[in-house]
Amino acid sequence: MNDFTKDFAQALFNPDKINDLLRKELQQAVNNLLEAELTAFLGYDPYARNGWNTGNSRNGAYFRKVDTQFGPIEVQVPRDRNGQFHQHTLPDYKQHSDVLESTIIKLYSKGVTTREIADLIEKMYGSHYSPAQVSNISNQMLPKVEAYHKRKLSAKFFCVSLDATYLPLRRATFERYAVPIALGPQPNGH
């Protein structure tokens, strides 16, 4: 049994320990991928003799913090001497994983306020999001929503059913407003 298997077996019944173990393993895996990517770019291993006097070499690293579903990880992004290396493992300038962003978008689409979402994300994942960041992430969905509203509808429907649902909305006062819903199945069943 290797060390990861032993550690995983010990942490199996404690979710906090499992998340911590997975976070550490993810951090190590991403750092190893980045180092392997630089090795492939340069064409020689670290401290290899055939890399001497090639005109480009390793030049340290800079650190990035990335929030994941297992907690924050610190990534060590390697650099080359000439500044030509561009890593492809992590998206540029992105500090949060897609899982957190999709969670924010789903919660926002369900009507949860930006402040409540920020508090939930901080409690669940330990990542701090301001309400403004939550609003910016949820604004990514606006073009998709507008495209959905502007789509062409079929001219033929088997029947049309009209209904309404009441949603709480805070404007000048807190009231429930009716939102009309139209359902129209087509002859093919869609």
What tens digit of pLDDT does each residue of 30-81 get? 888 888 888 888 888 887 777 777 788 888 888 988 877 777 888 898 988 8
pLDDT band at 172 (very low <50, low <70, confident <90, very high): confident
Against a cut of 0.95, is the pTM above it?
A: no
**Percent of the chain topping pLDDT 90:** 0
Please give the full DSSP string across 107-163, using - where no structure is assigned.
HHHTT--HHHHHHHHHHHH-----HHHHHHHHGGGHHHHHHHHTPPPPS--S--EEE
CA distance 78 to 87: 9
Q: Nearest CA to 104 among 122, 92, 84, 88?
A: 122
CA angle 130/134/139 to nearest 5° reads 145
pLDDT 10s digits, 83-137: 888 887 777 766 666 666 777 777 777 777 778 877 877 776 666 677 777 777 7
d(CA 164, CA 179): 5
Residue pair 182/161 in contact (Cβ under 8 Å)? The answer is: yes
- Measure the CA–CA gap between 23 and 29, rounded to whole angstroms: 10
